[in-house]
């Protein structure tokens, strides 16, 4: 029983630490669009990408179609949008833990 309580306590502490890390992760505003259509990246088909400090990265953790019709007048294959993101660059990809598409301005 003592081992079970100890394991439960450790699991709860680890889970709490993970939640704290996610909440304190910094967000930034970046350009988001179709990597192939708007950022000139090489790959087959259309894939979501973000441009951070002038360099484009394909995104893992969310996809084009999670944010509406990519081929609509305001879609990712038609225009470059702003997004508030959190995550990290790993190799040549951006691993998103948060991705919020910002409203378009006229």
- Interval 65-100: pLDDT, tens: 999 999 999 999 999 999 999 999 999 999 999 999
The answer as to whether 2 is a domain residue is: no
Q: What range defines the domain where residue 35 resides? A: 26-101
- The end-to-end CA distance of the chain, in Å, is 63
Percent of the chain with pLDDT over 70: 79
What's the pLDDT score for residue 31?
97
pLDDT, tens only, 45-58: 899 999 999 999 99
H or E segment to which residue 73 belongs: none
In contact, 41 and 49? CB cutoff 8 Å: yes
Asked whether the predicted pLDDT for residue 1 surpasses 50, the reply is yes
The answer as to whether 56 is a domain residue is: yes
The answer as to whether 14 is a domain residue is: no
> 3-class DSSP state for residue 40?
coil
Number of structural domains in the chain: 1
- Which pTM value belongs to this model? 0.74
| CA-wise closest residue to 30 among 8, 12, 57 | 57
The answer as to whether 19 is a domain residue is: no
Asked whether the predicted pLDDT for residue 6 surpasses 90, the reply is no
How far apart CA 40 and CA 56 sit, in angstroms, is 9
The answer as to whether 67 is a domain residue is: yes
DSSP code for 93: E
């Amino acid at each position: 029983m003592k081992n079970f309580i100890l394991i439960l306590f450790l699991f709860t502490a680890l889970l709490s630490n993970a939640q704290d890390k996610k909440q304190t992760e910094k967000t930034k505003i970046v350009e988001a669009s179709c990597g192939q259509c708007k950022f000139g990246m090489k790959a087959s088909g259309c894939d979501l990408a973000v441009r951070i400090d002038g360099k484009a990265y394909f995104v893992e953790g969310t996809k084009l179609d999670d944010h509406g019709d990519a081929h609509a007048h305001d879609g990712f294959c038609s225009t470059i949008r702003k997004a508030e993101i959190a995550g990290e660059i790993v190799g040549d990809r951006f691993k998103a833990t948060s991705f919020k598409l910002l409203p378009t301005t006229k």
